[in-house]
Amino acid sequence: MKNRNLILVRHGQSEWNAKNLFTGWKDPGLTEIGLKEAKNAGLLINKIGIAFNKMFTSNLMRAQKTGLIILDTIDQSDIQIIKNEALNERNYGSLAGLNKDDAREKWGEEQVHIWRRSFDIPPPDGESLKNTAERVLPYFNSVIMPQIKNGDNILIAAHGNSLRALIMQLDGISDQDIVKLEIPTGAPIHYAFGEDGSIVLKEKLYE
Protein backbone atom coordinates (compact mmCIF):
# COMPACT_ATOMS: atom_id res chain seq x y z
CA MET A 1 0.00 0.00 0.00
CA LYS A 2 1.51 3.28 -1.05
CA ASN A 3 2.05 6.16 1.34
CA ARG A 4 0.62 9.61 0.78
CA ASN A 5 3.32 12.26 1.01
CA LEU A 6 3.39 15.85 2.24
CA ILE A 7 6.44 18.10 1.94
CA LEU A 8 6.56 21.39 3.88
CA VAL A 9 9.09 24.05 2.86
CA ARG A 10 9.61 27.52 4.28
CA HIS A 11 10.54 30.01 1.54
CA GLY A 12 14.20 30.84 0.94
CA GLN A 13 15.77 33.89 2.57
CA SER A 14 13.88 37.06 1.63
CA GLU A 15 15.31 40.55 1.16
CA TRP A 16 13.71 41.56 4.46
CA ASN A 17 15.00 38.47 6.32
CA ALA A 18 18.47 39.64 5.29
CA LYS A 19 17.78 43.16 6.64
CA ASN A 20 16.36 41.86 9.96
CA LEU A 21 12.95 43.41 9.25
CA PHE A 22 9.52 42.17 10.37
CA THR A 23 7.90 41.02 7.13
CA GLY A 24 4.51 39.37 7.66
CA TRP A 25 2.14 40.19 4.78
CA LYS A 26 4.60 42.54 3.10
CA ASP A 27 5.90 41.08 -0.15
CA PRO A 28 9.67 41.34 -0.66
CA GLY A 29 11.47 39.04 -3.07
CA LEU A 30 14.16 36.43 -2.45
CA THR A 31 17.84 37.26 -2.04
CA GLU A 32 20.53 35.44 -4.01
CA ILE A 33 20.95 33.22 -0.94
CA GLY A 34 17.18 32.62 -0.93
CA LEU A 35 17.22 31.57 -4.60
CA LYS A 36 20.03 29.09 -3.83
CA GLU A 37 18.14 27.77 -0.78
CA ALA A 38 15.08 27.13 -2.94
CA LYS A 39 17.19 25.31 -5.55
CA ASN A 40 18.85 23.25 -2.82
CA ALA A 41 15.43 22.36 -1.37
CA GLY A 42 14.49 21.01 -4.80
CA LEU A 43 17.66 18.91 -4.94
CA LEU A 44 16.94 17.49 -1.46
CA ILE A 45 13.33 16.67 -2.37
CA ASN A 46 14.45 15.11 -5.65
CA LYS A 47 16.46 12.49 -3.72
CA ILE A 48 13.30 10.83 -2.38
CA GLY A 49 11.60 10.74 -5.79
CA ILE A 50 8.06 11.89 -5.04
CA ALA A 51 5.73 12.61 -7.97
CA PHE A 52 3.56 15.49 -6.72
CA ASN A 53 -0.07 16.02 -7.67
CA LYS A 54 -0.37 19.64 -6.47
CA MET A 55 1.50 22.47 -4.83
CA PHE A 56 -0.19 24.78 -2.33
CA THR A 57 1.35 28.14 -1.51
CA SER A 58 0.44 31.53 -0.05
CA ASN A 59 -0.45 34.78 -1.80
CA LEU A 60 3.08 36.09 -1.13
CA MET A 61 5.77 36.12 -3.79
CA ARG A 62 8.64 34.73 -1.70
CA ALA A 63 6.75 31.48 -1.05
CA GLN A 64 5.44 31.23 -4.62
CA LYS A 65 8.90 31.78 -6.12
CA THR A 66 10.45 29.19 -3.79
CA GLY A 67 7.82 26.66 -4.82
CA LEU A 68 8.31 27.36 -8.53
CA ILE A 69 12.09 26.91 -8.23
CA ILE A 70 11.57 23.60 -6.41
CA LEU A 71 9.16 22.35 -9.08
CA ASP A 72 11.56 23.39 -11.83
CA THR A 73 14.46 21.64 -10.06
CA ILE A 74 12.51 18.37 -9.75
CA ASP A 75 11.12 18.72 -13.29
CA GLN A 76 7.49 18.88 -12.16
CA SER A 77 6.56 22.42 -13.22
CA ASP A 78 3.37 21.22 -14.92
CA ILE A 79 1.46 20.28 -11.75
CA GLN A 80 -1.47 22.34 -10.46
CA ILE A 81 -0.53 25.26 -8.18
CA ILE A 82 -3.07 26.61 -5.70
CA LYS A 83 -2.44 29.97 -3.99
CA ASN A 84 -4.40 30.92 -0.89
CA GLU A 85 -4.18 33.69 1.69
CA ALA A 86 -4.87 31.12 4.43
CA LEU A 87 -1.23 29.99 4.07
CA ASN A 88 0.19 33.54 4.36
CA GLU A 89 2.78 34.40 6.97
CA ARG A 90 1.55 35.77 10.27
CA ASN A 91 0.48 39.40 9.90
CA TYR A 92 2.85 41.50 12.00
CA GLY A 93 0.61 44.58 11.89
CA SER A 94 2.38 47.71 13.18
CA LEU A 95 5.70 45.85 13.35
CA ALA A 96 5.77 45.08 9.61
CA GLY A 97 8.66 46.80 7.85
CA LEU A 98 10.42 47.73 11.09
CA ASN A 99 13.92 46.62 11.94
CA LYS A 100 13.71 44.27 14.92
CA ASP A 101 16.28 46.33 16.85
CA ASP A 102 14.31 49.54 16.19
CA ALA A 103 11.13 47.85 17.38
CA ARG A 104 12.86 46.88 20.65
CA GLU A 105 13.96 50.48 21.08
CA LYS A 106 10.42 51.74 20.52
CA TRP A 107 8.43 49.23 22.62
CA GLY A 108 11.09 47.63 24.80
CA GLU A 109 12.87 44.30 24.60
CA GLU A 110 10.38 42.45 26.79
CA GLN A 111 7.27 43.61 24.92
CA VAL A 112 8.71 42.76 21.48
CA HIS A 113 9.79 39.35 22.81
CA ILE A 114 6.22 38.73 24.01
CA TRP A 115 4.79 39.64 20.60
CA ARG A 116 7.30 37.43 18.81
CA ARG A 117 7.28 34.44 21.10
CA SER A 118 3.93 34.22 22.88
CA PHE A 119 1.27 31.98 21.37
CA ASP A 120 -1.75 34.25 21.72
CA ILE A 121 -0.64 37.89 22.21
CA PRO A 122 -0.65 39.74 18.85
CA PRO A 123 1.32 42.89 18.03
CA PRO A 124 -0.75 46.06 17.40
CA ASP A 125 -3.04 45.56 14.37
CA GLY A 126 -1.49 42.13 13.75
CA GLU A 127 -1.91 38.40 14.39
CA SER A 128 -0.64 36.09 17.09
CA LEU A 129 0.44 32.55 16.20
CA LYS A 130 -2.95 31.47 17.57
CA ASN A 131 -4.71 33.77 15.07
CA THR A 132 -2.51 32.42 12.28
CA ALA A 133 -3.38 28.82 13.22
CA GLU A 134 -7.07 29.74 13.20
CA ARG A 135 -6.89 30.37 9.43
CA VAL A 136 -4.17 27.87 8.44
CA LEU A 137 -5.61 24.78 10.11
CA PRO A 138 -9.23 24.94 8.87
CA TYR A 139 -7.89 25.37 5.32
CA PHE A 140 -5.45 22.47 5.70
CA ASN A 141 -8.04 20.21 7.34
CA SER A 142 -10.87 20.94 4.90
CA VAL A 143 -8.98 21.38 1.61
CA ILE A 144 -5.51 19.79 1.73
CA MET A 145 -5.79 16.82 4.10
CA PRO A 146 -8.74 15.20 2.27
CA GLN A 147 -6.64 15.21 -0.92
CA ILE A 148 -3.73 13.55 0.92
CA LYS A 149 -6.10 10.88 2.28
CA ASN A 150 -7.34 10.41 -1.27
CA GLY A 151 -3.81 9.45 -2.33
CA ASP A 152 -2.34 12.74 -3.55
CA ASN A 153 1.25 13.82 -2.89
CA ILE A 154 1.30 17.48 -1.85
CA LEU A 155 3.99 20.16 -1.65
CA ILE A 156 3.35 23.21 0.55
CA ALA A 157 5.65 26.22 0.09
CA ALA A 158 4.81 28.69 2.83
CA HIS A 159 6.21 30.62 5.81
CA GLY A 160 7.72 30.18 9.25
CA ASN A 161 4.53 30.81 11.21
CA SER A 162 2.00 29.23 8.85
CA LEU A 163 4.18 26.09 8.89
CA ARG A 164 4.53 26.30 12.70
CA ALA A 165 0.73 26.14 12.91
CA LEU A 166 0.66 23.05 10.70
CA ILE A 167 3.48 21.28 12.52
CA MET A 168 1.82 22.08 15.84
CA GLN A 169 -1.20 20.03 14.74
CA LEU A 170 0.69 17.27 12.89
CA ASP A 171 3.19 16.65 15.71
CA GLY A 172 0.85 17.37 18.62
CA ILE A 173 3.06 20.17 20.00
CA SER A 174 1.73 22.32 22.86
CA ASP A 175 0.97 26.05 22.69
CA GLN A 176 3.98 26.72 24.92
CA ASP A 177 6.46 24.63 22.94
CA ILE A 178 5.47 25.51 19.37
CA VAL A 179 6.72 29.11 19.73
CA LYS A 180 10.22 27.73 20.37
CA LEU A 181 10.28 25.73 17.11
CA GLU A 182 12.65 27.19 14.55
CA ILE A 183 12.00 26.32 10.91
CA PRO A 184 15.01 27.11 8.68
CA THR A 185 14.52 28.77 5.29
CA GLY A 186 14.57 26.39 2.33
CA ALA A 187 14.63 23.26 4.53
CA PRO A 188 12.12 20.56 3.47
CA ILE A 189 10.24 18.45 6.00
CA HIS A 190 8.67 15.19 4.78
CA TYR A 191 5.57 13.52 6.23
CA ALA A 192 4.16 10.25 4.94
CA PHE A 193 0.59 9.21 5.79
CA GLY A 194 -1.27 5.94 5.77
CA GLU A 195 -4.65 5.45 4.14
CA ASP A 196 -6.47 6.62 7.28
CA GLY A 197 -4.49 9.88 7.45
CA SER A 198 -2.23 8.78 10.31
CA ILE A 199 1.44 9.79 10.12
CA VAL A 200 3.70 6.80 9.39
CA LEU A 201 6.93 8.75 8.83
CA LYS A 202 8.39 12.17 9.54
CA GLU A 203 11.87 13.16 8.41
CA LYS A 204 13.84 16.33 7.87
CA LEU A 205 15.45 16.28 4.43
CA TYR A 206 18.18 18.68 5.58
CA GLU A 207 21.07 18.48 8.04
Active site residues: 11, 89
Round to whole Å and give the CA distance between 38 and 61. Answer: 13
- What DSSP string runs through 68-82? HHHHHHTT-TTSEEE
Round to whole Å and give the CA distance between 115 and 123. Answer: 5
38 CB-near residues (< 8 Å, 6+ apart)? 11, 12, 30, 65, 66, 69, 70, 73, 186
CA 126 and chain centroid, separation: 18
